[in-house]
Structure 1
């Protein structure tokens, strides 16, 4: 870690890049819809045509760019990898630093609606004692932290990089929060720096999930809620896990299509937003703001990081199956209706001190249920400050 310089960053996409995007959208070669044109066979052609039309003619990238640039952004090199991050300090000096980590197919965009409430709670109807300084990095190989410099960016390595980032920023005590990949990285930071991380908050659970397939005698011991979650894990493995197989084995082959076709990139990401938002039957743009969805896609498109994000997110080699050491750091799980975490399994690798099941909401907590997430984060860290 020889180059520890932290450099201010400002996002400035050229007009030529935007013109290229518009030309590609105009020239899209659309497939004929399959019978029924429904979600069961993938993203419906009719629905995606409407979203692509909105992207081309109504979506305002410059407004999104201004919003991102309204927050201080920086880059630094950690372990040979370029890392982009937002760093927004609270005006309250006693604020607790909080490291927020997104997942796939997400980005720092997930947290934009929470920055104000976290850093300045008094201005948003909250208690100044709940203020946070927030640090929001882009995962290695994702978006503005691309391209990927080398292989081996396991969850543990990202956890170590995030601990180094917080050290460079001068934070001796801090909390971590995240979901999806971020839900695995957040406890990994605590395993690297247990003396510095005061608490780990996850939405969706910190892992691991229930074993698959599950022995009958173990299944018989489950509660009704736990059996439902196991059934949905099994359905996921049967019906939805194809993307993991592709991204973990042939990410470069996939990248050609997603990097060349904006509609291809849009469809790949929207497929997951539809499957993982709640309720599943709703179109994703009725659950999450349409402009937020497109800004998230834009960070993948403009940086050409579909392949490197897939590689970093799922090419974890043997690390996926390793049993992880319990850090001893207090850990919270906020589990929404779509999520499948089960406490007894999470406790094998984490010191769970708070577990909250919520009867609504999906995988993208900060985008779908920001108020619920905000309240739970505040309550969890209140006694850990």
Structure 2
């Protein structure tokens, strides 16, 4: 049956776990230039501590059980295996909410958020049924079926997923790549999507702005706010975009290392989590995310999907549904980069950045309830 949905459990074979531990135990460590901190990448002491914890202290089986506590499924859409969590709320007034992670992330990003959405402590707080797919090429939405899996195609797959699940009305939420996918779903399925809620932060907004044609020409360096945006755009081009340049041009080449070396994969992801957060992310949660990449060999396939997006112009139709923005680590720059029409939901939080579901899940859950509650 083409629409078939199969129950799924994560069950990593023990020999895969033993192999990971052996690779970490026999890792070859480089020297580093003293006194540079994070300016040249992940410091040796930090990566050693993470790797040692991953090898001897981190309990993958406990995290596997934690993930398996949520109902998981797979289905095939457009020739691609799609893995997703579907966590129903006990509340009869719950809103179906499709939430999409970004890069370098996975559904593990939402482990602190799901219960807050499905079972809020306050009896009068809006509840949600949560549907959290793994993007094509990420974690258990692998192997990648072929080229072409940019955000537009992923969004079309999400529309089909929600049809298969029988939802006539639902909301969408995401950050980073997930924000683009969520906005495109709203444009493709506006008759069923009741609202689109996305998260961003000043650094991410400025980074995205570097890819918007003509954005720099619209900014005035004499204006203090515009000057800050231009400086961040320039810093991203010079110092922050190397990971993206490699994956946008040679995903196959970097993929060999991301699949074969747990140290490279760990450094690749840990660097971004460090740079893109200002609130602590628990090391076990970080390593759960990295482990999903490792056990599914998805370092390679996620690189290919970033390549696809860099070479795609498929953004889908614009959304006409109610839109909400939650800005974490807010400052005056984001409103300049993201102009919104009057009446758009706009929330600002002083702390948190790129991964609010991991950094500030209670604040994010509250904002989702504030936005979607009146749309129920």
Q: TM-score, normalised by structure 2?
A: 0.92
Residue pair 1:212, 1:234 contacting (<8 A) in 2 also: no
Contact in 1 for aligned 2:151/2:315 (Cα 8 Å): no
Equivalent residue in structure 1 for 2:153, among 132, 154, 157: 157
> Could you say what secondary structure the match of 1:298 adopts?
helix
Structure-2 change in CA distance of 1:22 and 1:209 (3 Å): same
Return the offset for 1:4.
Answer: 1.2
Could you tell me which runs of 5 or more consecutive residues in structure 2 were left unpaired when the two chains were aligned.
none
Q: Counterpart in 1 of 2:323?
A: 331
User: Which residue of structure 2 lines up, in the alignment, with residue 248 of structure 1?
Assistant: 248
Aligned residues: 371
- The residue that corresponds to 2:138 in the other structure is 142
Match of 2:13 in 1: 14
Q: Of 152, 170, 175, which residue of structure 2 is paired with 1:174?
A: 170
* TM-score between both structures, scaled by the size of structure 1: 0.90
Aligned to 1:258: 258
Q: Contact conserved, 1:119 with 1:131, CA < 8 A, in 2?
A: yes
- Contact preservation (8 Å) 2:251, 2:307: no
Shift, 1:189, TM fit: 0.4
1:183 is matched with which residue: 165, 179, 186? Answer: 179
Distance 1:245 1:288, change over 3 A: same
- Range with bigger deviation, 173-182 or 231-240: 231-240
Equivalent-residue separation in structure 1 for 2:48 and 2:34 (angstroms): 16
Distance 1:341 1:313, change over 3 A: farther
Runs of 5+ in structure 1 lacking a partner? Answer: 280-286
Question: Per the alignment, in what secondary structure is the counterpart of residue 82 of structure 2?
Answer: strand
* Structure 2 SS opposite 1:20: helix
Q: RMSD of the TM alignment (CA)?
A: 2.4
Q: Displacement of 1:92 after TM fit?
A: 1.3
Q: What is aligned with 1:282?
A: none
Say which SS state the counterpart of residue 200 (structure 1) adopts: strand
Q: Is the 8 A contact 2:137 2:298 kept in 1?
A: yes
1:153 counterpart SS class = coil
Match of 1:304 in 2: 297
Q: Corresponding residue for 1:117?
A: 116
2:309 aligned partner: 316
Of 347, 354, 367, the residue aligned with 2:358 is 367
Report if aligned partners of 1:326, 1:351 keep a CA contact under 8 Å in 2: no
- 1:26 to 1:101, Cα distance in 2 relative to 1, 3 A: same
Decide whether the 8 Å contact of 2:125 with 2:369 is kept in 1: no
Q: How does 1:50-61 map to 2 (within 5 A)?
A: 50-61=49-60
